[in-house]
Amino acid sequence: RSHYLFFNLGGAAHEVGVRQVAHYLWERYGSSHNVKFISVPFEGVVAEIMRSVNHRHWGVVLKRMMLKAAAEIARDYNASGLVMGDAVAQVSSQTLTNLNVVDRASDEVVLRPLIAMDKQEIIRIAKDIGTEPFARNMPEYCGVISSKPVTRAKLHRVEEEEANMDPAALADAIANRTDTMVSQLLDSTQTPEEVELIQTPSVDDVIIDVRHPSEEERSPLTLTNNDVLKIPFYELNQQVAELPGNRQYLLYCDRGTMSRMHAGHLKAEGHGNIKVYAPAV
């Protein structure tokens, strides 16, 4: 039997679609087994990576942190190995060189059934097993994207970067994981809060640019009639609580994925004055 392990990078809204596809797969292919859906809150780890690691190594270090956490959790569940969805060269962290560096983070056996498949073959399989509609409609989390990611990482350099990180970030994420029986996933899943998309903000609205500072520097958001606050998404939860409650705040990012995701998360936590700035293209 296979448990489902999910690293949550973007709050409650990010988890809903993953829960749905995990339940579908279990119900169709594995309902004779009692397995768990394990969710690890990784927002703090992402924030620590972005604060402490050179941006070129973000993707590789994130995968290594996931593998380290997965290995520790696997031991707690007496699991014999880990299964990952990597396919060679699909993204920068999945070159053979980078995968070799990633695998050095753990001694656990790592199985990669998709490793030699191309994208179209993977899409075909997804259609055959019924998961393609989930993937097509599920927003891709784009928080840890570097402008020039390394494709031939050196293990010693990656380990030097990781040494700058606070180890408590990963330890806390592992300690705060939750597990739910997959058979009960939909019972405990909360529908993401719907958030209003605003194309033209009113004069009193405050725009919050949630992009990473390096992304914001490359493409600054300039508005003549509105105040613009620069709060990276990984600091949003902490700083929103300190903002005056008598203003309306519109979250902004280039693709609109992170802004909607975090706006829904904040609204679910009771911040009714949060919406999304979605200017017409």
Hey, which residues does 227 pair with through a beta bridge? 206
The one-letter amino acid at 211 = R
Separation of first and last alpha carbons in the chain:
47
DSSP-assigned letters across all residues of 238-269: HHHTTS-TTS-EEEE-SSSHHHHHHHHHHHHT
Could you tell me which of 267, 264, 257, 266 has the C-alpha nearest to residue 278? 257
- Please work out, in degrees rounded to the nearest 5, the angle formed at the alpha carbon of residue 102 by the alpha carbons of 99 and 104: 115
Interatomic CA distance for residues 214 and 147, integer angstroms: 9
Q: What are the backbone angles phi and psi of residue 38, rounded to the nearest 5°?
A: -105, 120
Whether 142 sits among the annotated catalytic residues: the reply is: no
What is the SS3 assignment for 8? strand
DSSP-assigned letters across all residues of 156-190: HHHHHHHTTS-HHHHHHHHHT-EEEEGGGHHHHPP
CA dihedral sign, ordered 264, 266, 267, 272: negative
DSSP-assigned letters across all residues of 51-66: HHS-GGGHHHHHHHHH
Catalytic residue among 49, 50, 153, 253: 253
Interatomic CA distance for residues 41 and 34, integer angstroms: 23
What amino acid positions are annotated as catalytic residues?
253
